[in-house]
Amino acid sequence: MPIQVETLSLLNAVQALALGLMLWAGTHGDNGPALAAIRLRALALGIEAAGYGLLALQAFIPPAALLMGGNALNLLAQGMVVVAIRMLLGKPLRLKSATLIAVVGWAGVAWFGIVDPDYRLRVLWGSLAIAGNVLLNIDALRSGCRDSGTRARCVLLWVYLLAMALVVWRNGALWLSGNPPDQVATPSPINVFYVLLSGMQPLFASIGFLLLYNEILRRELHELARIDPLTGVANRRAMGEASDRMLDEARAWRGSVGVLLVDADHFKNVNDRFGHDGGDKVLQSLVACIQSILRADDIVGRVGGEEFLVLSPGVDAEGVLALGERIRSTVEREVLQIDGETLRLTVSIGTAVAGPGQWDMPLLRRQADAALYAAKRAGRNQVVAGAEVAA
């Protein structure tokens, strides 16, 4: 029994609608951009389902209404997908571009469908609009595809590359055919094959979309697990990873890494005076002071209650002492306003340097820690260099 375009379209409509409902039902939680992108993708699937539904019911719908309504729904859904993918990836939405493609594409299809009927030119014009949207998706997905941890992006990229190949094939088949169909609902191998594959595309694209969402979510969770929630800088775990990476790079290039432990002086008195909320504000201000001194390659992280670790690549013993002094003097000069009251804070700093023969970070940390406590014992508000330690 020959396969009817109407039957395929009905199956495509049911599939797209079911996918859209499942995506929508599964979006619970906050209203962040990732979930907003999922909901937008779900709405696009609903609109695609409506377009396939019109084609499935084409026997009951005037040809002009089918032509104008079906293409309008199709182009609207494609534009929404463009925005959803870019929203998920955190890229510019290209809303104006997608809108322009939809309007120009729909106008061209209307012209070659009603004013100057020509099926092959109508398909070509509509295909150019489809290709424009697909290219916007490819442009958003291609960057970073080869990076580690971005396989889902590559999967979705291939889905749209295959969609582009399908558009090219359809137009080639129509223009090279000696007896092309006069509309998409006309029973023909070209139309059946095109409707079949185009109906499978929402399924593959939705799977790729969910894989990409999961990949982005896992990356965000990985980053959140390495951020101190109070100050927004790296936590102890992230600083351990950063120190290993920085030492490996310095060893490979026979460079050096400055290590500084910075501790706020008399912080218990701050908590007693302002409470823990006020103490939290002081720590946030302290981090801002430290960050204002650091270079782009330097890293600061919170490794204790009021203790911070600074890693500075490419500095020697003299340079790390100079950096510590700049941090100390900047903090000392800063006048903090906490709950309407004025506060001046000081810090004590211990330093160490990783370099040839000194690549053991735990040992360097102990060296800097001993120097920090020496600064505390000497009266605080000082920078003390750790004793040289041979590996």
pLDDT tens sequence for the chain (391 residues) = 355 778 888 888 898 899 889 888 877 666 678 888 889 999 999 999 999 888 888 888 888 888 899 889 999 999 999 999 999 888 898 999 999 999 999 999 999 989 998 888 988 998 899 999 999 999 988 876 666 557 888 888 888 898 898 888 888 888 887 676 666 656 667 777 777 777 788 888 888 888 888 888 888 787 778 899 899 999 999 999 899 999 988 888 888 999 999 999 999 999 889 898 999 999 999 999 999 999 999 999 999 899 999 999 999 999 999 999 999 999 999 998 888 888 999 999 999 998 887 788 888 999 999 999 999 999 999 999 985 433 3
Q: Which residues contact 207 (CB under 8 A, 6 or more apart)?
A: none
| Inter-residue contact 307 to 263 (CB < 8 Å) | yes
The pLDDT assigned to 388 comes to 41
Distance between first and last Cα of the chain: 81
Spatial separation of the C-alpha atoms in residues 272 and 113, rounded to whole Å: 79
The three-state secondary structure class of 180 is coil
Phi/psi at 232 (nearest 5 deg)? Answer: 80, 5
| Inter-residue contact 314 to 256 (CB < 8 Å) | yes
The pLDDT assigned to 198 comes to 77
Residue count (the chain): 391
The three-state secondary structure class of 391 is coil
pTM: 0.70
Chain-centroid distance, C-alpha 247? 28
The pLDDT assigned to 149 comes to 57
